[in-house]
Amino acid sequence: MRPRLVAVGVLGLAACLLSALPLRADTSGKVKVFILAGQSNMVGKAKMSLLEYQAGQPETRYLFQTARKGGF
């Protein structure tokens, strides 16, 4: 066998074995998870007029109170 091929095989086997080792993590606290879903809004192409409109509507005002300075 070629030495280079053997070295790659040994490194690959070592990587597989090391990835199987359990890692200890601090699981005593809570973790906040943010799911960022969207397309154009996630890239910053949304118009602020849409936010202002939705924040001003009685039905959706509560959803946007943290998105504006001073709440409502």
Range of the domain at 61: 33-72
Round to whole Å and give the CA distance between 51 and 60: 10
Note whether residue 13 is domain-resident.
no
> How far is C-alpha 24 from the chain's CA centre?
22
Note whether residue 11 is domain-resident.
no
| Structural domains in the chain (count) | 1
Q: What is the total residue count of the chain?
A: 72
Give the tokens for residue 5.
């091929």
Give the tokens for residue 8.
């790659």
Round to whole Å and give the CA distance between 39 and 31: 25
The answer to pTM > 0.85 is: no
| pLDDT value of position 10 | 80
Give the tokens for residue 63.
């959803």
Question: What does DSSP assign to residue 28?
Answer: S
23-68 confidence digits (pLDDT tens): 676 677 887 888 776 665 566 666 778 888 888 889 988 888 777 6
